[in-house]
Chain A
Amino acid sequence: MAFTSYDFLLFFFIIFIIYWLIRERHWQNLILLVASYYFYGYIQAWYAIMLGLSTSIDYFLARAIVFYPNRKKIFILISLFMNLGVLAFFKYYNFFISDVIAFLNTFNIHTGTLLISIALPAGLSFFTLKKLGYMIDVSRGTLQPTNNFINFALYVSFFPQLIAGPIERPQKLIPQIESQRQWKAEFFYQAWPLLVMGFFKKIVIADSVQVIVNRIFGFDEPSILLLLIGGLGYTLQILADFSAYTDISRGIAYLIGFETSENFNKPYLSLTPTDFWNRWHITLSTWLRDYIFFPIRRTLLQYKLHESLTLALPPIVTMFISGIWHGANLNFVIWGLYYGILIAIYQLIGIRGDWKTNTKIKTLFAWFVMFCFIVFGWIIFRSPSINWLINIFSVSPLIPNSNELIFALISINIVVVYTIPLVVKQMMHKSITPSWLYAIYYAVATLLIIIFTNSSNSDFIYFQF
């Protein structure tokens, strides 16, 4: 169920009313849990069944760690094996299945309908990390496991965060689940600007820019200039789309009395790759930092290896894993490695995450270099295949032909026009802006949401035939 659908609006309206009519915390949690499972199982009921099963197993494993601390390694291994196994199966099954079928066919074994492509359950990557973080913290003794199954199940399945995060830490969400909640007007005042900006970024910006991005990355051999414009477009699209989801998710959470984490903090103003990952998809970055980066670094330091190795290896391995987490696609793996290597190089030349310069020119230069790296990273991420990208850089012309040039001009104009609202908002934040100017900004954004809702189709690819 998409946040932007009518079905969700109706679903949330009903939940909202019932939830606040009931003042008792346990019942409120139960309602949210049922709602979360309904939300998740809306398209495929077995998604919800799978979520329920894996949540139950992790709940009991976490309890077992407390009761049998001398066997905690076994319990944590079972949890890791189950969670990563399920994740790997669904993420990589389709990647390998065509080869498996072809292999079986060579032995005249016809697979029929037994081996079919399986859809990845939405949100699996996100709630798996949530559960793993919980289990690791319990096994480390930094978190006392909850003894209430409903609270734990709600932490894992909390519907505003279920599909695309933020990957909330148990230390932040579980205490809120366990505390008494009563309606306050403050919740609404916190929620509405997030909801307006979320819908605006998704419906007006991301969906509009997506059209030209899809076109450019759909060409067989676009010129390099056109590819770069497509990269710029995707840089805007992915930020607008993903941060919109987080805004809407946070807005919804506020409406039911929860404060959840921010996921983006002006990522495109970063000066270094580490700085970028501290600002982009923050909850994933901190998860990777705490559960992968730090343990690797600590291990390397224990072995007293050469400093360059202890500086370079942890980011490369962490970002490689981040790439694999994003999906079964060579693009993602290379994109992860690309950032890992970038971070390592910056670290080795002494430019760490908190690096600052003392002159504006240097800052501008550092920003420009980092922004170019970010755009190129998104080009790797978005390309239909790595071969396609290599082919463009080896055979495509730099400057487009006359027809492509017209399209390039239109595309760059679209990217610029749809960037303006975000830049304006940023400038308003930086300067002392009167509240009525903000009110006008949000009102215009709302008018544009009304105009852009279902007014165009992103699937007009059929017009090409």
Chain B
Amino acid sequence: MRFFLKFFLILTLSLFLTSAFLINANHLTYPFPSGPITDSELRLVHLKFIEEEKPQVVLLGDSTLKLGVDSNLFEKQINKPIYNISIPGSASALWYLILKNNIVESSYKPPYLLIVFRDTILTAPAFRVHGNYFTQIAEFARQNEPLLIENSFTNYMSPLEIAAERYLPLYSMRAKIREDIDNHIHHLIPSLLGCDPICVQTSLDNLFTFAEINPILPGDEIRAAESYLYTSEQLDFDTQLNRSYLPEMIRLAKENNISIVFVRIKVKTDTEHQLALGQYIEKLSSYFADNEIYFLDFGDDTRLTSNLFQDAIHLNESGRELFTQLLAEEMNKIISEK
């Protein structure tokens, strides 16, 4: 008992001291708001590009877009200038922020916006928002983003987590503290050998090129990470729709006279999800039809055979060429229709 009391006293004292230090050092108001804190700095790289280059078609998506659509070929086939915003590791939260804070804010509004997605990702607002993904999201967020905080964070937090976020500074500041710890560990030995943080980053960037990754293991890891999109919760369209960014993205596009086109790209999902996924896509399709939104569904396209994939979700070079052509054909129909 005495041992536990010693531990408890030391822990309580440490928590009190670290809390006081963190609040003072970061000039924060206490208690904190629930969810992560975003600053006032906003990345406007896409806004600037759109204003300068005035593309007719903007494509938005993640690595499946990057590896699935050949920008030069697509531009040639639809005969319109395009801008491809494919951000590896992005998902609906980041797409919503880029639409809201970059595309819509631009003085020039591109006539077409293609959002390339897979399966349930559009209604999975908490997918890829934590840890390193949040760093990416924070760059495109304003200081006050209530919808982001609610849809991607507080909606998915337990009461215990919300309380810890609000009242325990060590917990709410953990991402930053963790980043500092990681940086120190990562740079300690290289810096002793004269390799500064930029040198470390350059080496890692050079090392982690796609070609050097063993195709077996990432496939399994991708499948494991993707399994989140196929849980019963994520496959429940009716519940997830109201928690997602989809209605807001459609509203923003409509209000700014941007024709938004949702493009479902094919992935190799396990057959056990097919039935539930089919029902989900049916509902998504009806939702788009009710809102008069273009929906190009390549999810079950038999022309995209499994030999055209390099892993569970990414097309290979031949797949990219074919998918680009298929997408361009459909896009040309939409353009001529208008």
Interface residues of A (CB under 8 A from B): 6, 9-10, 113, 116-117, 185, 188-189, 192, 214-215, 217-221, 384-385, 388, 402-404, 406-407, 409-410, 412-414, 417, 435-436, 438-440, 442-444, 446-447, 450-457, 459-465
Considering only residues 171-226 of chain B, those with a C-beta below 8 Å from chain A are 171, 174-175, 177-178, 181-182, 185-186, 188-190, 193, 195, 199-200, 203-204, 206-208, 210-218, 221-222, 224-225
Q: B7, B14, B67, B212: which has the most chain A beta carbons within 10 Å? A: B7
Q: Is B113 an interface residue (CB 8 A)?
A: no
Task: State in angstroms the CA–CA spacing of A404 and B208 once bound together.
Answer: 10
Q: Assuming A453-B171, A457-B128, what are 20 further A-B pairs, CB within 8 angstroms?
A: A10-B158, A189-B3, A217-B214, A220-B212, A388-B214, A388-B216, A406-B190, A410-B189, A413-B189, A417-B185, A439-B7, A439-B10, A447-B18, A450-B170, A454-B174, A456-B182, A462-B89, A462-B128, A462-B225, A465-B63
Task: State in angstroms the CA–CA spacing of A410 and B193 once bound together.
Answer: 12
Chain B residues with CB below 8 A from A452, complex form: 174, 178
Contact (Cβ within 8 A) B185 A406: no
B72–chain A nearest beta-carbon distance, Å: 19
A293–chain B nearest beta-carbon distance, Å: 33
Task: State in angstroms the CA–CA spacing of A72 and B61 once bound together.
Answer: 64
Contact (Cβ within 8 A) B216 A384: yes
With known contacts A413-B189, A460-B131, A403–B203 Cβ distance under 8 A: yes
The 3 closest A-B pairs by CB, nearest first: A465-B63, A457-B131, A439-B6
A454–chain B nearest beta-carbon distance, Å: 6
Minimal Cβ-Cβ distance residue in A for B2: A435
Contact (Cβ within 8 A) B131 A461: no
Q: Is B247 an interface residue (CB 8 A)?
A: no
Partner of A451, one of B132, B177, B214: B177
B141–chain A nearest beta-carbon distance, Å: 18
Identify 30 residue pairs between A and B in the complex whose beta-carbon atoms are under 8 Å apart, listed by A's number: A6-B161, A10-B158, A113-B271, A117-B271, A214-B221, A215-B208, A218-B214, A219-B213, A220-B211, A406-B199, A409-B189, A413-B186, A417-B185, A435-B2, A435-B3, A436-B10, A440-B10, A447-B15, A447-B18, A450-B171, A451-B171, A452-B174, A452-B178, A454-B174, A457-B128, A459-B225, A460-B131, A461-B222, A462-B128, A464-B88
With known contacts A116-B270, A407-B207, A460-B131, A443–B14 Cβ distance under 8 A: yes
With known contacts A9-B160, A409-B193, A465-B314, A218–B203 Cβ distance under 8 A: no
Contact (Cβ within 8 A) A435 B189: no
Minimal Cβ-Cβ distance residue in A for B231: A43
B6–chain A nearest beta-carbon distance, Å: 4
Task: State in angstroms the CA–CA spacing of A117 and B274 once bound together.
Answer: 13
Task: State in angstroms the CA–CA spacing of A9 and B132 once bound together.
Answer: 26
Chain B residues with CB below 8 A from A459, complex form: 221, 224-225
Contact (Cβ within 8 A) A443 B7: yes
Minimal Cβ-Cβ distance residue in B for A455: B178
Q: How many residues of B contact A (CB 8 A)?
A: 69
With known contacts A185-B1, A388-B214, A407–B203 Cβ distance under 8 A: yes
Contact (Cβ within 8 A) A443 B132: no
Chain B residues with CB below 8 A from A412, complex form: 189
Interface residues of B (CB under 8 A from A): 1-4, 6-7, 9-11, 14-15, 18, 62-63, 66-67, 88-89, 128, 130-133, 158, 160-161, 164, 168, 170-171, 174-175, 177-178, 181-182, 185-186, 188-190, 193, 195, 199-200, 203-204, 206-208, 210-218, 221-222, 224-225, 270-272, 274-275, 314
Contact (Cβ within 8 A) A465 B203: no
Task: State in angstroms the CA–CA spacing of A460 and B90 once bound together.
Answer: 11
Contact (Cβ within 8 A) B271 A464: no
Q: A116, A189, A218, A402: which has the most chain B beta carbons within 10 Å? A: A218
Task: State in angstroms the CA–CA spacing of A117 and B212 once bound together.
Answer: 29
A460–chain B nearest beta-carbon distance, Å: 5
Contact (Cβ within 8 A) B131 A455: yes
Q: A404, A406, A436, A443: which has the most chain B beta carbons within 10 Å? A: A406
Chain B residues with CB below 8 A from A384, complex form: 214, 216-217
Minimal Cβ-Cβ distance residue in A for B88: A465
Task: State in angstroms the CA–CA spacing of A461 and B225 once bound together.
Answer: 9
Contact (Cβ within 8 A) A464 B200: no
Contact (Cβ within 8 A) A451 B170: yes
Contact (Cβ within 8 A) A464 B171: no
Contact (Cβ within 8 A) B200 A438: no
Chain A residues with CB below 8 A from B170, complex form: 447, 450-451
B294–chain A nearest beta-carbon distance, Å: 26
B117–chain A nearest beta-carbon distance, Å: 14
Contact (Cβ within 8 A) A402 B213: no
Contact (Cβ within 8 A) B221 A464: no
Q: B178, B211, B270: which has the most chain A beta carbons within 10 Å? A: B178
Chain A residues with CB below 8 A from B225, complex form: 459, 461-462
Contact (Cβ within 8 A) A189 B213: no
Q: A435, A447, A451: which has the most chain B beta carbons within 10 Å? A: A451
Task: State in angstroms the CA–CA spacing of A397 and B231 once bound together.
Answer: 43
B173–chain A nearest beta-carbon distance, Å: 8
With known contacts A406-B190, A460-B132, A455–B10 Cβ distance under 8 A: no
